[in-house]
Amino acid sequence: MQPKPVQQPAPYLSTTWRDTETSAVGHLVVHDLFRGVATGGLRMRPGCTLREVEDLAYAMSTKTAVFGLPAGGAKGGIDFDPKDTRSDGVLRRYLEAIRPFLEGTWVTAEDLGVSQQVLDATFGEIGLGESSYHAQIFRDADPAAALRRIRAAMAESNPDGLVCENIAGYGVAQAAAATMRALGFTTEPLSMAVQGFGTIGGSTALYAQQMGITVVAVSDLLGTVYHPDGLDIPALLATRNEYGEFDRAALPVGCELQPRDAVLGAPVDILVPAAISYALTGKNHSVVQARVVVEGANAAATREAELELAVRDIAVVPDFVANAGGVAWSWWVLLGQDEDVFGRLSHKMTEIVDRVLAPWLIDGTMPRRTGLELDTRH
């Protein structure tokens, strides 16, 4: 059966900002509102486009619907290099320009190129409280209590580090494991390749390894590292810098240094693109050798790539399912429902993965199409 493309509806609103002091261009897209609120992160990267932000806002809208979160979807994006020394000023002026949305509509958080610490500090500088969750905090019956919950959650840690930095990757790893179980790949050791070694990619690799999946390839901006017997993920994480790059000098003997995009064609069971959007396109999808693709990054595969992979019987678990752990966690905290978030996320992720893959197993219906029809909000 030839899979059909999914049509994306137009967003509720879209606005573009141009910086007066640099060449930076920023966008805010609110795909939809639910009870007057939309949620989604803010990213900064060179080349960020309005189309990219629209796609990401749509994905956020679908995440909140699928996971039953009381918000619509939105996304912010700034076309600027976060490594540029002027980036803090760019971020501040962007937030000042769209302040009305931050005050009452858009609940935002960290994303590619923008850390939560810097984002919260900038909110404070422009007089919007102490958290980028400002718009929802002040809807709470007790804003001070909501802020205390956020502070406590941001500081909470486990043996693997801060929960807020690891929970999204934990969800991706759970999605990968649930996918392989649903497809019947349970009788042999599983292997994984992870593109990107930042917050999501690094924690995905860590938790996948803890679950018994052999992570044989990871990449960062400097290239791909491959070892057929598996990599020591904790050791790599110990050398990782703030840009998700790890120290090659710390690699053990036997590791192969490969080009950055080689990770996409690694001979593995599970490919997790967890870096930039549109990593898999109509031009490079044919290199994929994995049995399944689990989107750790937002909009990791273009629609054309997803269709072509489906033709090859390679299931793609979409971003709005696989990497929803971060937004689910933040809203559970905001709502005071943050007990046993790891157990809750594991259960919820398995349930949703099973639902989106069931039609795929029957007649090849793409998981994205099935997922877009799920809405568990009340």
pLDDT digits (tens, 9 = 90+) for 207-245: 999 999 999 999 999 999 999 999 999 999 998 987 788
Domain boundary among 139, 155, 171: 155
Which residues partner with 76 through β-bridges? 28, 42
HSE-up of residue 67 (Cα within 13 Å, Cβ side): 34
Q: Distances in Å between the alpha carbon of 218 and those of 191, 261, 275, 350?
A: 12, 10, 11, 24
The proportion of the chain whose per-residue pLDDT surpasses 70, expressed as a percent, equals 98
Residue 4 in domain? no
Computed over every residue of the chain, the mean pLDDT equals 94
Cα-based torsion angle of the residue sequence 132, 135, 136, 142 in order, rounded to the nearest 10 degrees: 100
HSE-up of residue 340 (Cα within 13 Å, Cβ side): 5
- Condensed to tens digits (0 to 9), the pLDDT of residues 174-196 reads 999 999 999 999 777 999 999 99
Residue 106 has pLDDT above 90, yes or no: yes
Q: Are residues 21 and 114 in the same domain?
A: yes
Residue 4 has pLDDT above 80, yes or no: no
What 3-state DSSP class applies to 214? strand
Choose the weakest-confidence range: 150-164, 225-239, 243-257, 264-278.
243-257
pLDDT score for 45: 94
Q: Distances in Å between the alpha carbon of 363 and those of 2, 15, 283, 310?
A: 10, 40, 27, 12
d(CA 316, CA 179): 10
Choose the weakest-confidence range: 49-63, 104-118, 127-141, 238-252.
238-252
Q: Are residues 170 and 260 in the same domain?
A: yes
CATH of the domain at 78: 3.40.50.10860
d(CA 361, CA 367): 10
Q: Distances in Å between the alpha carbon of 90 and those of 55, 95, 96?
A: 23, 9, 10
Domain boundary among 138, 155, 172: 155
The DSSP secondary structure of 325-369, one letter per residue, reads: HHHHHHHHHHTT--TTHHHHHHHHHHHHHHHHHHHHHHH---HHH
Q: Distances in Å between the alpha carbon of 42 and those of 26, 87, 196, 327?
A: 10, 13, 18, 13
- Condensed to tens digits (0 to 9), the pLDDT of residues 277-335 reads 899 999 999 999 999 999 999 889 999 999 999 999 999 999 999 999 999 999 999 99
pLDDT score for 127: 95
Domain holding 61, by residue range, is 13-155
Q: Are residues 174 and 322 in the same domain?
A: yes
Residue 7 in domain? no
Domain boundary among 129, 155, 181: 155
State the sign of the Cα–Cα–Cα–Cα dihedral 19, 22, 23, 25: negative
pLDDT score for 188: 79
pLDDT score for 338: 82
What 3-state DSSP class applies to 101? helix
Residue 377 in domain? no
Q: Are residues 180 and 140 in the same domain?
A: no
Q: Are residues 175 and 145 in the same domain?
A: no
Residue 51 in domain? yes
d(CA 145, CA 61): 27
d(CA 186, CA 119): 42
The proportion of the chain whose per-residue pLDDT surpasses 90, expressed as a percent, equals 88
| Burial class for 266, CB neighbours closer than 10 Å (0-12, 13-18, 19+) | buried
Residue 378 in domain? no
Residue 117 has pLDDT above 60, yes or no: yes
Q: Are residues 44 and 128 in the same domain?
A: yes
Which residues partner with 42 through β-bridges? 76
- Condensed to tens digits (0 to 9), the pLDDT of residues 75-97 reads 999 999 999 999 999 999 999 99
Residue 333 in domain? yes
Catalytic residue among 4, 63, 75, 83: 75
d(CA 292, CA 175): 11
Q: Are residues 28 and 72 in the same domain?
A: yes
Residue 103 has pLDDT above 70, yes or no: yes
pLDDT score for 3: 61
Is 83 an active-site residue?
Answer: no
CATH of the domain at 265: 3.40.50.720
Q: Are residues 292 and 233 in the same domain?
A: yes
Q: Are residues 149 and 171 in the same domain?
A: no
Q: Are residues 242 and 356 in the same domain?
A: yes
d(CA 217, CA 306): 22
Q: Are residues 134 and 230 in the same domain?
A: no
Q: Are residues 84 and 49 in the same domain?
A: yes
**Mean pLDDT in residue range 147-167:** 93
Which of the four pLDDT bands, split at 50, 70 and 90, describes residue 377?
confident
Residue 200 in domain? yes
- Quickly count: other Cβ atoms within 10 Å of residue 235's Cβ: 13
Q: Which amino acid is at 171?
A: G
pLDDT score for 187: 72
Number of domains in the chain: 2
Residue 8 in domain? no
Cα-based torsion angle of the residue sequence 245, 160, 227, 309 in order, rounded to the nearest 10 degrees: -80
- Condensed to tens digits (0 to 9), the pLDDT of residues 343-373 reads 999 999 999 999 999 999 999 999 999 999 9
d(CA 140, CA 146): 7
Which of the four pLDDT bands, split at 50, 70 and 90, describes residue 2?
low
Residue 378 has pLDDT above 80, yes or no: no
Residue 1 has pLDDT above 80, yes or no: no
- Condensed to tens digits (0 to 9), the pLDDT of residues 67-77 reads 999 999 999 99
pLDDT score for 5: 55
